[in-house]
Structure 1
Amino acid sequence: MEKITLGTSDLNVSRICLGTMTFGEQNTEADAHSQLDYAIERGINFIDTAEMYPVMPRAETQGRTEAYIGTWLKKSGKRRDVVLATKAAGPSRGITWIRNGESDFDAVNLRAAVDSSLKRLQTDYIDLYQLHWPSRNAPIFGQIAFNPQKERPHVAIENTLEALADLVKAGKIRHIGVSNETPWGVCEFVKQSESKGLPRIASIQNAYNLLNRSFESGLDEACFRENVGLLAYSPLGFGQLSAKYLDNPKAHGRLTIFPPSWSPRYLRDSVAKAVKLYAALARQNGMTPAQLALAWCHSRWFVASTIIGATTMQQLQEDIDAFSVTLSDEVISNINTIHSEIANPAQ
């Protein structure tokens, strides 16, 4: 399994990262342990989770994903064999059960979040601690444009970095990253860390797939120049790019078992049109639609590691195998032609 050094950190991570947000909702604890065992066998050393997981978020299941990983770490004894990443939830009016609805990135909240994650994960340290979404007003989760009318009080990036610095000094976290960030956010985090001597972000975890290539509009340059590695999540676009919903609109998955309000951007008519074209391209070239989508992420120069997730062992095996597929120049050209016709339908 190919590995890469993540940003300016000393973390040597596999080019495939095991995403775990189905653990505790769509996957049982036994399922989770089996996936973790198999991922390690295949050479994956990078595991990503979050205090908010599993999805969809519910008070009665929150933290279950980390807990399942924790029992696996204890049982397997493989803590030092993996790079463990988790995320702190940002402010949200909808998620009122995390720290009594006061979740944000100030010192008190981050300390409480880290301590709770460490307890659930049954470990003394977290290798990569990420901010799940910005504290400030920013266009995320399907919001295409920045709207200054949505400005709200928020924790300053400098203050967040100071709080994270204390956690690094305490040995509770090793490196930090951001998630669902913008070009301005990345540059501001780097500027504040360098000017104040505070921890520097090693990574950004943002959506990147054939249905949402918005990372290529500014974030690619910002992350290249600041040496921040992209951890690409949703490479299959909530399962759409596997074409399972194209082949069977009632197929079992997040888009059919969760309310439409959970993922409206992946239910747009333009998404369905794009999926049909990408699926046809894949099949014309002897690939499954999932292979095309995952190989695309793996081929991009700015993707440090692609986060995959599965609900069955068969899906996990197929996803990992897809990274051995090499896309020809002709296929890449055809992908870009489709993109020019239907650009970023799930942005």
Structure 2
Amino acid sequence: MTLLKSAFFGALLLSTSGAFAQEVTLRFQHFVSPASANPKHFMQPWADKVEADSRGRIKVELYPFMQLGGGAAEMYDLIADGAVDGGWVIPGYQPGRFPEAEALELPFMVTKSGEEASMAAWDFTQEHLMDDFADVHLLAAHMHGPGIVHKTGPGIQAVSDFEGLNLRGPSRAATLFLDKLGANPIGMPVPAFPEALSKGVLDGGVITYEMSPSLKLDELTDSHTDVAGEKSLYNLFFIWAMNKDSYAALPDDLKAVIDANSGAMASAWAGRAHDTGDKEGRQVLVDAGNELAEISAETTAQMVALGDEVIAEWIADVTAKGLDGAGLVASARAKVAANRLPAN
């Protein structure tokens, strides 16, 4: 009898431990170098933490450079359709599809802290964008650090210096502003930026310091210009998202692991990753001997006034399409103001 009981409980224990040791592999995809800031300081540490928190039961595999197929502009649909289990999305790569998110990307909307901007982005997303992203399971919403003008030749000193420049822009809001400044904006996902520079298609473009090393902007451009003050020339909105069926298929305890690594915490973490990368990327440009410039406060004020024109025109445009443009801008500004970090 004792032997029978021992065999029974042994089988029960084996069955229970086998269920507990269920392994799940999630394939996440992105479109940049694994050495760039977000993959290095957020995505990989996030994947490692999920694995550790699940005691090895969840493995997150990261695929850079769209290795699983598709283009950067297709990422949202690749996740929604289940071609990948999750990944990194720039909604602005599909102009007009997610218009409410553009409120955060308007000129001089957010501060130069990626962490602050990302905390504001998560709050704004919770209030305004959850319906827009209903096709995916949202893990984080975040923004990068300050957008910088990288170009061949000397840095920008006056608004007139933008006149006629062919500049890459990442989003509709950014290209609207570049157009207002007198440049010829060319909408372009980040993977195409270096080749366009090397072929002379572009005079430069707007992107962060942190992307400079992986895009070889220290070699392909000569100057890197920021605006004066605490607000960013432009910014870009991202989501870190998962396929809904992939999430739903997880047992409850593993859903809890994903949940614990999602939301405001993950959004702020992603923003900090960009801040860390900005410091590293800026130093690469300094070491290369490139020009790092800052537009004067007077010229920045002129640019802010032009940015206000873009904002007014954006409000009129989206309002005509049935959205509360003024309300979205007011809400974005309120979220930014409410998510300032204590001064060091």
Measured against the shorter chain, the TM-score band is: under 0.3
Higher relative contact order (CA 8 A, sep 6+): 2
Q: Which has the larger radius of gyration?
A: 2
Q: TM-score, normalised by structure 2?
A: 0.24
Query: Which structure's residues are more often helix, by fraction?
Result: 2
